[in-house]
Amino acid sequence: MLIFFRAYLNRQTLVSIRNLLQSIYKFLFSRFLPMTTTSNNQSSADPPPFDPSKPAIPVSFPIKTLDDLESRSYFDSFHFPFNKASVALQSRLADRPRILVCHDMAGGYTDDKWVQGGTNSDAYAIWHWYLIDVFVYFSHYLVTIPPPCWTNTAHKHGVKVLGTFITEWDDGRVNANKLLATKESAHMYAELLTELATALGFDGWLINMEVNLDVGRIPNLKEFIIHLTTTMHSSVPGSLVIWYDSVTVDGKLSWQDQLNDSNKPFFDICDGIFVNYTWQEDYPKLSAAVAGNRKFDVYMGIDVFGRNTYGGGQWDTNVALDVLKKDDVSAAIFAPGWVYETKQPPDFQTAQNRWWALIEKSWGIVQNYPQVLPFYSNFDQGRGYHISVDGGQVSSGSWNNISSQSFQPFLEFFEDPPSESIEVFVDRREASYSGGSSITFKGTLQGTYFTRRLFQGDLLFGDLPVHFTYSVKSDGSSLIGLSLKFSSSTNEKTSVLLASHGNALLTMNQFSSEFSKIIMPRQVTKPETDPGWVIQESSITMNGSTLTEIHAVCYHSKPELNRMSLKSQPDGVDNSLDRGSTQYFAILGHFTVKTPGQNLDFPPSTSWLVEGQYISWTSGSQGSKTLSVKIVWKLKDGNASLFPKYNIFVEKLANQETGAQEYLGVAEIQAFYVSDLSVPSGTSNLKFIIQVCGDDGTSQTVDDSPSFQLPVKRS
């Protein structure tokens, strides 16, 4: 019901309704609740209150009061080290109109709060990162700290991540007055916010002072913004502090819907303004004029739920984007989770791809990759129904973990594709080579071959050869090659086909007129874990040229199959498709690009120190037990930053006999918390294995991986 009304209520109405409801609630609470309270003891059915100092499954959580912020208690919590982002941001903010996406999804901290991942295979996620410049994690708590999963995957794709500091309603007025009581208090709280962002690895703050203020507080508000911006810039180069269009310089809560004299003094002392989303058609042009040479720092809001937003949001979000693009200012898309929250048909995956296709059509691609080597993608969306490692499935359970997202492919969405064509999509159901996703190509192959965009890059090649490795599982005659498009310094275009394994002469005859160069794979192997996968490696030297596009090329091993269409019986009645001749089916499992010198040597297991902390045993029935333990590891000497993740396994040993390996999860930092692990009767030891993974997608063999052995506590 609230979602339904959300599209029709403006900001002023929502403020009035919420204030009224709060007053009613407080009245009823004070008048009636004491009469119904019969005991001070918690019901046995109620969960215990959250105590962040106690060991528990790691979670992300906000800071709700200024007292908690000032006490720095967050840094003393058990969960703090787990909430550190592990992926550093390499790119700078582009000097052009930008796309800011403000996450406002079901109040925040839903499935994404579980730092080590959850069990919801249909959890909300964003995967169109190539259309985003800045991502804001938003909720209505005082200090909204982005869960590290968002920071990790956004940084991987070149996107900045901001937290949110918000004061609103009656409590917000109290917080704002305390914050702005003196110049010193304003500076103190600014430094505390900077400390949080620096320690946790995100890139700044959206500041939303959504309360009326005494005009005498405005000088200290400016001090707060200036000091926060200055300390953020010095602590995190390239960081951003963005002001939300709310309170004005005269202290009134009055959304201007444009940049003007009432809010420009705040804009002038930080990195940008997020303009409220109820603007009129000429406001972007007027705002650009006021901003002058900083017009790209003006982010005009668009509410995807459509609350009085220009163009109506929802499936017409592109209407507003077209205006902003024309007027050369930036866009702030608020609440793209509308697609998920309102259950847009036919399903989230399809609806999400369709909605973001509107954004791409209006605005265009804003991120390019690959840009640096090594480059690796297993197309994982950070949610799925199984997990694989090096071609072998290690888990069949449903899961979600946005940190596990790999570089996302630039797959195009077609509203009404031809019925007889190749369907291309990220597939979470079919077999995966690594992680929980792959790209499936299936349908009818028309003509000699079919191509589909995978990545749009900006990678300058040097004098070293570059190796391309990818895995494919297909129905036999269906092959996948890679089309590479290059541009030289003189703008000369070159197209190269990295062909699939097969008959070299046939391949040359088939494609010689289509590509500038054809390269057959130099090595073809099959993994022991699943021989159905074929791993192909090709090498190319293009010194001085820039790789701009990578496409998948679908074709048959026998070209004559492409010319066959429908099979028919002698009477001409049966026109069903013959899969053996006209149908195409193949899965692309992973994709790696690197130079020969980037082959990773994993340190031997003896190079690591591994230990258990916070060990807790609980006895169960018939001699069984449960264990909770924090496992930590580090290299004795050297830098572990080369290893972006670790797969965690356990073996339950009985009298030192080797047991089956059970997959527990993945860690992006050098720690993992095991909660309530079931230990059967007769188990003598638990061997925890930390499988080290490289940034090129390779994994250390489990037998050579560091481990930690824990004797089972006797009753």
DSSP collapsed to 3 states, 498-525: ECCCCCHHHHHHHHCCCCCEEECCCEEE
| Phi–psi pair at 290, nearest 5 degrees | -70, -40
**CA nearest to 330, candidates 294, 369, 279:** 294
| Residue 610 shares a structural domain with residue 593 | no
Question: CB-based burial of residue 25 (10 Å sphere; 0-12 exposed, 13-18 middle, 19+ buried)?
Answer: exposed
Handedness of CA 266, 270, 271, 277 (dihedral sign): negative
Which CATH number fits the domain that encloses residue 490? 2.60.120.260
Q: How confident is the model over 278-336, as pLDDT tens digits?
A: 999 999 999 999 999 999 999 999 999 999 999 999 999 999 999 999 999 999 999 99
Q: What is the mean pLDDT of residues 391-395?
A: 97
Output the pLDDT for position 34: 34
| Residue 578 shares a structural domain with residue 640 | no
314 in a domain, yes or no? yes
| Residue 533 shares a structural domain with residue 577 | yes
Output the pLDDT for position 8: 46
| Residue 428 shares a structural domain with residue 381 | yes
**Range of 570's domain?**
375-598
For residue 30, the surrounding DSSP H or E stretch is helix 11-36
| Residue 652 shares a structural domain with residue 528 | no
Indicate the residue among 598, 615, 637 that finishes a domain: 598
Q: How confident is the model over 78-95, as pLDDT tens digits?
A: 999 999 999 999 888 999
CB 108 within 8 A of CB 231: no
- How many domains does the chain contain in total? 4
For residue 70, the surrounding DSSP H or E stretch is helix 66-71
CB 373 within 8 A of CB 462: no
How long a stretch of residues is the chain? 715
Amino acid at 29: F
Q: How confident is the model at residue 40 (pLDDT cuts 50, 70, 90)?
A: very low
Q: How confident is the model over 428-467, as pLDDT tens digits?
A: 999 999 999 999 999 999 888 999 999 999 999 999 999 9
pTM: 0.92
**CA nearest to 361, candidates 329, 318, 331, 330:** 318
199 in a domain, yes or no? yes
| Residue 323 shares a structural domain with residue 400 | no
249 in a domain, yes or no? yes
| Residue 390 shares a structural domain with residue 426 | yes
